Structure 1
């Protein structure tokens, strides 16, 4: 069920965003390079607004497309720089001995798992194209062998499925297309679905929900022990950042079902925006 829900959420978010951004890209190509467009919503909007004598709205449409792609480029560059800086910072914090020992215990992960000297419990997967698992020495000192294995297998699921990259793409789209607020709702539920699937992987690999459940409880009780400054921000899939209370209650009651509440206001606003574009499209064809 959760795999299907995750796929549907990602497909819905990426598909809806892709359609809008593709139309914007085609319109931008037409304006910049004279591409011949057939049935492009943004070009039809531009022609209709021009025919109605409100050229300033045409200029606004052009600026919307230009700013959307300029901001997308800026976000992408900023994220790449932040990820690079974060990896450099983490490299300087690596505990080579513990990293080697942990890598030996989980040989399938090899050099893709790091242990860092950090005085707060931390476990996350970071990196867009070449993700790595990062665990803090403080966290490892809190966990027993079963809990440690559950956390590692949880993060290994995120790493193998490139969850930081997928989450960042949906996050980027929800920020760029802020006037389609249902995308934010999709992003939130997608992140929850991915965490539950990673929990399921840990339970399957360890053979018991005890390890993942007790690890979550320990992190819930000790969320910010220590005095170090927070790690540099970069997109990552964090072990105890998303829906931790629901995940614990679900482990205690595996038959519990999460019924997403339909956010009527974001849905209605999104439908209004999409309907307005469709209406302009239809009017232009009359």
Structure 2
């Protein structure tokens, strides 16, 4: 169920964002590069609106398009730089003996995929866009027993294997750029919850019991875990940042399922905005 929900959420977010961004790209391409598009959504709308002289707000529309792509480019560069800077910092903080010991113990996860950093606060997260790594602090490992350690690592290994930092960042940046489509914020939040539940399930399945993941969560919370400031806003999936209360309740009662209300207002408003943007782009290209 959660796997299907996760796929549906990501697909819905990608399709909605992609539809809006493709329209903007086609608009920009025709105005900047003189593209000749024989068939597109603008042509359909244009045929319906040829008799109406409503071609206004073109300057505002152009500003929205180019501002969106400008911010997207800047954010992509900023995120890559932040991730590289965070990796350099964490590389200097590595506890080499502990890193080597964990790397040997969990060889199946790949070479150099687990870093232990010498840090006085508990921390556990997966970071990186293209080659994510699991990062644990020495303070956290010092209080975890073997079963709790395995649960945390296999939880983060699920994020690493499925490139969750990259996927979550993509949804977040689309929700920010297309702020006038509020349904994207709801999709992003629900996607984060789904990915955490799936990572918890991975840890439970590998350990054969929910005890390890549950006690690890409680220990991490009681120690006031480090915030993401540790990695300077680089893309990461943190072990104890999303829906903690619900995750603990679900570990105690595996049959517990959330009642997720449909954001009908956000859906209707976002649908209206998409239709209006389509019409405005079509009119601007007439």
Structure 1 position 272 matched with structure 2 position 248 = no
Q: Deviations over 1:179-225 (max 9, x none)?
A: 00100000000000000000000001111100000001111212247
- How big is the shift at 1:108? 1.2
Structure 2 contact 45–282 (Cα < 8 Å) conserved: no
- TM-score of the aligned structures, taking structure 1 as reference length: 0.91
Equivalent residue for 1:138? 139
Equivalent residue for 2:101? 101
Q: 1:23 to 1:43 in 2, by over 3 A?
A: farther
Q: How many residues align?
A: 280
- How big is the shift at 1:156? 0.4
SS at match of 1:124: strand
SS at match of 1:108: helix
Q: Which runs of 5+ in 1 are unaligned?
A: none
Structure 2: distance between partners of 1:95 and 1:258: 40
Structure 1: distance between partners of 2:152 and 2:24: 42
Q: Deviations over 1:5-49 (max 9, x none)?
A: 00000000001101111111111111111112333449968x969
Equivalent residue for 1:125? 126
Structure 1 position 84 matched with structure 2 position 84 = yes
- TM-score of the aligned structures, taking structure 2 as reference length: 0.91
- How big is the shift at 1:53? 6.1
Structure 2: distance between partners of 1:275 and 1:225: 43
Equivalent residue for 2:263? 263
Equivalent residue for 1:249? 249
Structure 2: distance between partners of 1:81 and 1:100: 27
Equivalent residue for 1:20? 20
Structure 1 contact 118–136 (Cα < 8 Å) conserved: yes
Equivalent residue for 1:10? 10
Structure 1 position 152 matched with structure 2 position 125 = no
RMSD between superposed Cα atoms in Å = 2.5
Q: Which has the higher contact order (CA 8 A, sep 6+)?
A: 2
Structure 1 contact 27–40 (Cα < 8 Å) conserved: no
Structure 1: distance between partners of 2:24 and 2:281: 14
